[in-house]
Structure 1
């Protein structure tokens, strides 16, 4: 069952419950009012009859006739009896006993009595008179109220059915209107295939659940697009990157084994094989790091990490590896709250990302000093890594972070074009962005911006 149908049924069911409660309350309230009104009329009839018979000795015959003509019009199915102190019917002859002595005594003891006897309402009143003490009991069937309530019930049923039908149609229309953005998202999703992962669904301008769904789906598409792009790039380039050193190693070994050679020649061959093996090892290491990005992210091994601590670890590593003051760390505009330096991430992956950027800066500047500037505003963390190398052509900046891309100006340096791509991929996992721009004087600046959540 579709969501709009379920919403229509839920809304209609809720409307039915509310209408039943409302209609039931109105029905029984009106019934109570009419029953009370009938009881009061019955009391008045019993009082008039009692006054008529008990006070008949005190008024003239003419007045008695007027009272009889004016007030003694009987109610439908009315039965009225007057009982004396001996609980015997008086004034009005009684062929059949309608009330027993126990009921009469209850009226005499309580002074008043009301109850239902089947479909008849009964009223009992006690009167004290100069002729003695009397009990008046009156009963009647409220057929008028029954007929009114029957008409009211039929009207309510018709109105109830009409309202339920209107509620269902209205709820279905509202559900269709509210869910139309989802239908648009679904239609867009159905057009997305492996060959057009660059397409995105419309996120809208709101911040409701549908917009959040669209944004999350677009984020998923972005990750899938990157994964497919990496796969295609890997198929196109990794085989070349792996085959070249292997071919070189096989060729050198075949030449060396072709005939006996001098020890110096064997040493030269071994050095060449070592260089190619190191190149192969670097390529495999880079590919393993790339695979580790998806593996660690899927495991969600995240923890709060101070970004300045990683920078100081890299400072100690590179200044020991190269020379003192090779890597310079500058802390600028740091917020007082230490939480402004904390990023929820995988520390190992973040170390790899920052180390790849710093390593590139040293490699392409001939191991000249590199400066890292850390800024924190409380909402964003910025890290600028500046080298003094050859610099990058403006037209190559857009392609620099792509996998296996090598700048023409850096062809003399060893590498595979994966370092910056790995760094950018890791940084993007943790709400960060890597950009590259020429330095003001000489070299290149790698800028990282982390948005704190």
Structure 2
């Protein structure tokens, strides 16, 4: 069932319930008003008949004739008068006595001063009447033809109006539900047009601050992220293909040259050495790509625990110097730390080790003396690490691009790189809610600054 139909049915049921309750209350008030009004009319007629009988001394025959004549043209009340001993003094139509008074009825009238009751659909009133110091009882009964007809007509009209209102409400609800969901249908049509080749399409935003505009903005933002990811993936695949093709082409070329004709031992040794270097480049590239993939995981899927930064730095230094024995790395701590927690952070040991090793490798590789120094300090619950080297530096125009995957600047002529290390390092630091920045002067000094939050807070 479509949402428009569900909303229409729900809206109709709720509105129908409200209308029914409203009509029920109005009908109840109207019915009660008719009863009270007719009781008052009967009571007035009873007192008028009592005044005619007692004050005007009108003969009983005359009053009975008036009653019989009035029955032909109006709803005339049948009235009876009794004395204090419950003896009948007057009756409009004793042969057709509707009330059939009993001593119990007179006692109730005497106690309460009045009695009101239904006899079938006829309404009866019993009143206490005082005259010349004596107490009398007057009973009157009548049938409200006009009132009942009026209530019946009102009931029929309310039923017809209720049915008509439900139909109108149902059709109106269906119309407005479709009207309200028209933007959603338009969104659906627009989304169905979005494909891998048409990722630039976006949903129209009307500028209002309603829920549909918020949905369209959220969807457009999601499409922006998807488009960026899609473009990054295409660029990533393209760069990977290029990076893999270069060493593979070099390996194939070396092997083809070696096989083209017989050569001396030295020539074969040189070919094997070059092939080995290219193979090592492939291994480093694949390792970097694997680490980049790990750093791109959902943070909720990466295990974090409390680790010491000094231990991670020492392990990263050992890992880098094992791979490159010529690289020199110094670690300095500025000041004394009051407790171990000041040197601890919540993080992933493997990823932080990779990030620091990348900075060590980058610093040594592009320095004049193959040396990198890291200064560790603690300030305002933050652990600050400054990786410094004296070397070729970074061109100021390239500062904003060095953290992009596969970006290589002018200094690639000094040392070979695949453009993944700094991008990987930035991802790892971001996963740990840290900040990484760089400050460099060409041919002088370059410093990468990392700020992490200590576990002490």
Band of TM-score, shorter chain: 0.5 to 0.7
The one of 273, 276, 279 equivalent to 1:277 is 279
Counterpart for residue 415 of structure 2: 413
Mapped partners of 1:164, 1:377: distance in 2: 69
1:165 aligns with 2:168: yes
Q: Which aligned pairs between 1:29-108 and structure 2 lie closer than 5 A?
A: 29-53=29-53, 56=54, 76=75, 78-82=77-81, 90-92=89-91, 93-100=93-100, 105-108=104-107
Mapped partners of 2:442, 2:9: distance in 1: 66
Alpha-carbon spacing, 1:441–1:389, altered in 2? closer, same or farther (3 Å): closer
Cα deviation, residue 410, structure 1: 1.4
Cα deviation, residue 280, structure 1: 1.5
Cα deviation, residue 237, structure 1: 3.1
Cα deviation, residue 199, structure 1: 4.9
Q: Which aligned pairs between 1:120-135 and structure 2 lie closer than 5 A?
A: 120-126=122-128, 135=137
Shifted more, 248-257 versus 183-192: the winner is 248-257
Deviations 1:153-194 (A, max 9, x none): 5665676546973796489558846x6765665455344321
Mapped partners of 2:219, 2:263: distance in 1: 64
Alpha-carbon spacing, 1:250–1:5, altered in 2? closer, same or farther (3 Å): same
Could you say what secondary structure the match of 2:219 adopts?
helix
Cα deviation, residue 146, structure 1: 3.0
Counterpart for residue 455 of structure 2: none
Deviations 1:228-273 (A, max 9, x none): 22442344332342344345456656739986965x7776566544
Could you say what secondary structure the match of 1:124 adopts?
strand
Alpha-carbon spacing, 1:444–1:153, altered in 2? closer, same or farther (3 Å): farther
Mapped partners of 1:411, 1:432: distance in 2: 31
The one of 394, 399, 404 equivalent to 1:392 is 394
Mapped partners of 1:370, 1:251: distance in 2: 41
Is the 8 Å Cα contact of residues 354 and 425 (structure 2) preserved in structure 1? yes
Is the 8 Å Cα contact of residues 15 and 167 (structure 1) preserved in structure 2? no
Aligned residues: 427
Counterpart for residue 405 of structure 2: 403
Q: What is the CA RMSD across the aligned residues, in angstroms?
A: 5.4
Mapped partners of 2:157, 2:386: distance in 1: 78
The one of 287, 290, 306 equivalent to 2:289 is 287
Mapped partners of 1:428, 1:182: distance in 2: 37
Could you say what secondary structure the match of 2:31 adopts?
helix
Cα deviation, residue 285, structure 1: 1.8
Cα deviation, residue 208, structure 1: 5.8
What's the TM-score once normalised by structure 1's chain length?
Answer: 0.68
Cα deviation, residue 35, structure 1: 1.9
1:28 aligns with 2:28: yes
Mapped partners of 2:6, 2:355: distance in 1: 49
Could you say what secondary structure the match of 1:195 adopts?
coil
Mapped partners of 1:353, 1:52: distance in 2: 116
Counterpart for residue 140 of structure 2: 138
Mapped partners of 2:431, 2:231: distance in 1: 16
Counterpart for residue 195 of structure 2: 193
Structure 1 unaligned blocks of 5 or more: 331-337
Mapped partners of 1:119, 1:86: distance in 2: 29
Could you say what secondary structure the match of 1:137 adopts?
strand
Alpha-carbon spacing, 1:76–1:274, altered in 2? closer, same or farther (3 Å): same
Is the 8 Å Cα contact of residues 373 and 388 (structure 2) preserved in structure 1? no
Is the 8 Å Cα contact of residues 129 and 136 (structure 2) preserved in structure 1? yes
Alpha-carbon spacing, 1:167–1:125, altered in 2? closer, same or farther (3 Å): same
Q: Which aligned pairs between 1:199-210 and structure 2 lie closer than 5 A?
A: 199-201=201-203, 209-210=211-212
Could you say what secondary structure the match of 2:116 adopts?
strand
Alpha-carbon spacing, 1:265–1:193, altered in 2? closer, same or farther (3 Å): same
Alpha-carbon spacing, 1:249–1:97, altered in 2? closer, same or farther (3 Å): same
Mapped partners of 1:432, 1:183: distance in 2: 43
Could you say what secondary structure the match of 1:95 adopts?
helix
Is the 8 Å Cα contact of residues 251 and 278 (structure 2) preserved in structure 1? yes
Q: Which aligned pairs between 1:283-322 and structure 2 lie closer than 5 A?
A: 283-293=285-295, 296-297=297-298, 300-301=300-301, 312=310, 314-318=312-316
